[in-house]
Structure 1
Amino acid sequence: MADKSPPEPKRGGWLSRFAPGVRKIVSRRDTPDNLWVKDPDTGDMIYRSDLEAALWVTPSGRHMRIDAPTRLRYTFDDGEYEPIDTPDVPEDPLKFSDGKPYRERLAQARKAAGRKDTMAIGVGEIGGEGAVVIVQDFSFMGGSLGMAAGEAFIRAAEVAQARRLPLVCFTAAGGARMQEGALSLMQMARTTLAIDELKRARLPYVVVLTDPTTGGVTASYAMLGDVHLAEPGALIGFAGPRVIETTIREKLPPGFQRAEYLQEKGMVDRVVARADLPETLARVLSVLTGGRRAA
């Protein structure tokens, strides 16, 4: 016998029942997950496009971390520069695993960042002054110093010597890359030797310390510049504040290890807002090169 029960009502809102197809036309557009960014200091939500227009500096003054390509665009005139390839290095020479193989961690980091490792190199002009710029990206495994970062720094120094240009380094790191063990620590000495070669060639080396710059990077090339600039509020030191407080069992002074505190103590020459960095770098490079404009 045929089923004579009434048909079930169509599911959906009144709009789809009233005019089929209309719902599809007026459906809500997909909204990016990162349309809004939270200010770490105040908790306020900031429209992403407004934050980008402010060079990723919040209304509270927090200089948020930015990736290497963005940093290079902000630094060079009109955002134009010649990218320099970084050298290839052996992967996972120690066959290290900390619950996940190092090769897998590298693959994930490379997929997320779209490049081989933490360092990026560019050549261009800053306020009309030619320069080689190397940027350390904290978003790639905490900007950790490994063989790839060391080789990239040496490559940047070699390009600077070949083209007779000053070298500018933007640092951002949590320290040495533990998955590479002693091979990572060796980069502290190797980068120091590269800086020594720059000084022998009488080429300026300028460091811009960004948040955070810690560990073996601070103990090597981050503190060997002819001039040290820093972004406001940047954490700069070897061990972190909590480690120091636990070790000495004393409360640290306010602002300890921040850029402004280190400027007061003489470790940083000047704290410079991100928007003013290109102009400041241009003046510094002009003075250090004797006012000549590098080819």
Structure 2
Amino acid sequence: MLKDFFGKKRKYATIPSEQSKLDIPEGLMKKCTNCRKIYYRKEMNKNFNVCPNCDYHHPLTAWERIEYLFDEGTFEEWDKQLTSTNPLQFPGYEEKIEKDRQKTGLNEGVVTGKGLIDGQMIACSVMDSSFRMGSMGSAMGEKIARAIENANEHSLPFIIFTASGGARMQEGVLSLMQMAKTSVAVKRFSEAGGLMISMMTHPTTGGVSASFASIGDYNFAEPGALIGFAGRRIIEQTINEDLPEDFQTAEFLLKHGQLDKVVHRHEMKTLLATLFAMHQKGGGIS
């Protein structure tokens, strides 16, 4: 099916002239950041925000991902009102948080809840890089920990979609403490027999990659996702060596045994539904 789809001849929008630009509604068209093809936004949305030409996986908001993944009308959000404060009185932090709230419609950079995937009830956390670059602060850590605890309490499998630039600098050591809090929640969940799937998307870096993102029972990633702790330039300067061109990509990590699979967005729902059903039949999750 996927082969047939990409084998078809696709129609792309032509670059409009200066005069015709006046007649084009704002937001109708979009350019792929990878291959630079111009296409109609609604066509991209139908393709799960994957470029039909080069297969580049464009970022998704938390709610776009939930809409694509969960059965229609089944998702129930948890802890919607939980949001960041300014514990260190960092100058301008509250204003930046408020600006991101207005821009994204979110109170924090992660949406948590439960819903049906192919008829199976699943708990989840979905990070959104459009809110403070998905950076992890106290509120985010608390929401993720609560979601894992809810999954444990109700014997639900748990999936997390990560998209983050790392710990949130404006909260200092309090943000770093979330690495331990979320990892302990995962450990307790695992000891109780829970199933956790981590799906790393672009980018998953810093403290997020070094904590809950990397300790699932299954660790997956989307094609081309940047995954790593420190930045490429810092590592090269530290070891005084040039790194491979594909270093810190999902494909590089898979090749070196740090991922179980690189999963195309078109295949994601089917794969997850299959895994959840398999573990239910095996008695791991009731």
Query: Do structure 1's residue 68 and structure 2's residue 62 form an aligned pair?
Result: yes
Map of 1:257 onto structure 2: 248
In the TM superposition, structure 1's runs of 4+ consecutive aligned residues that sit over 4 Å from their partners are 28-31, 291-295
TM-score normalized with structure 2 length:
0.87
Instruction: For 1:293 and 1:30, locate their aligned partners in 2 and report how far apart those are by CA, in whole Å.
Output: 57
Instruction: For 1:215 and 1:196, locate their aligned partners in 2 and report how far apart those are by CA, in whole Å.
Output: 20
Map of 1:158 onto structure 2: 149
Distance change (3 Å), C-alpha of 1:128 and 1:291: farther
Unaligned runs of 5+ in 2: 1-20
1:148 match: secondary structure:
helix
Instruction: For 1:267 and 1:53, locate their aligned partners in 2 and report how far apart those are by CA, in whole Å.
Output: 31
Instruction: For 1:239 and 1:79, locate their aligned partners in 2 and report how far apart those are by CA, in whole Å.
Output: 39
Selected match of 1:142 from 95, 112, 133: 133
Map of 1:52 onto structure 2: 45
Number of residue pairs matched by the alignment: 265
Q: What is the Cα deviation at residue 246 of structure 1?
A: 3.1
Selected match of 2:219 from 228, 238, 255: 228
Q: What is the Cα deviation at residue 275 of structure 1?
A: 1.2
Q: Aligned ranges for residues 199-214 of structure 1 at < 5 Å?
A: 199-214=190-205
Q: Aligned ranges for residues 94-105 of structure 1 at < 5 Å?
A: 94-97=88-91, 101-105=92-96
Q: What is the Cα deviation at residue 290 of structure 1?
A: 3.7
Selected match of 1:240 from 222, 231, 235: 231
Map of 2:277 onto structure 1: 286
**Does the CA-based 8 Å contact 1:206-1:227 persist in structure 2?**
yes
Map of 1:78 onto structure 2: 72
1:255 match: secondary structure:
coil
Query: Do structure 1's residue 169 and structure 2's residue 160 form an aligned pair?
Result: yes
Taking only the aligned residue pairs, the percentage that are identical comes to: 41
Instruction: For 1:115 and 1:79, locate their aligned partners in 2 and report how far apart those are by CA, in whole Å.
Output: 19
Instruction: Show CA shifts across 1:206-243 (max 9, x none).
Output: 10010000000011000010001111111111012233
Query: Do structure 1's residue 123 and structure 2's residue 75 form an aligned pair?
Result: no
Instruction: For 1:71 and 1:292, locate their aligned partners in 2 and report how far apart those are by CA, in whole Å.
Output: 28
Instruction: For 1:171 and 1:160, locate their aligned partners in 2 and report how far apart those are by CA, in whole Å.
Output: 17
RMSD: 1.9
TM-score normalized with structure 1 length:
0.85
**Does the CA-based 8 Å contact 1:129-1:293 persist in structure 2?**
no
Map of 2:12 onto structure 1: none
The one-letter amino acid of 1:62's match is Y
Query: Do structure 1's residue 132 and structure 2's residue 126 form an aligned pair?
Result: no
Distance change (3 Å), C-alpha of 1:218 and 1:90: closer
Larger-Rg structure: 1
Instruction: For 1:76 and 1:192, locate their aligned partners in 2 and report how far apart those are by CA, in whole Å.
Output: 25
More displaced, 198-207 or 247-256? 247-256
Instruction: For 1:153 and 1:244, locate their aligned partners in 2 and report how far apart those are by CA, in whole Å.
Output: 29
**Does the CA-based 8 Å contact 2:128-2:163 persist in structure 1?**
yes
Selected match of 1:41 from 23, 34, 38: 34
Instruction: For 1:237 and 1:167, locate their aligned partners in 2 and report how far apart those are by CA, in whole Å.
Output: 23
1:132 match: secondary structure:
strand
Instruction: For 1:220 and 1:292, locate their aligned partners in 2 and report how far apart those are by CA, in whole Å.
Output: 27
Map of 2:4 onto structure 1: none
**Does the CA-based 8 Å contact 2:193-2:285 persist in structure 1?**
no
Instruction: Show CA shifts across 1:178-203 (max 9, x none).
Output: 00000000000000111011012211
**Does the CA-based 8 Å contact 2:279-2:285 persist in structure 1?**
no
Map of 2:172 onto structure 1: 181
Query: Do structure 1's residue 268 and structure 2's residue 256 form an aligned pair?
Result: no
1:289 match: secondary structure:
helix
Query: Do structure 1's residue 114 and structure 2's residue 120 form an aligned pair?
Result: no
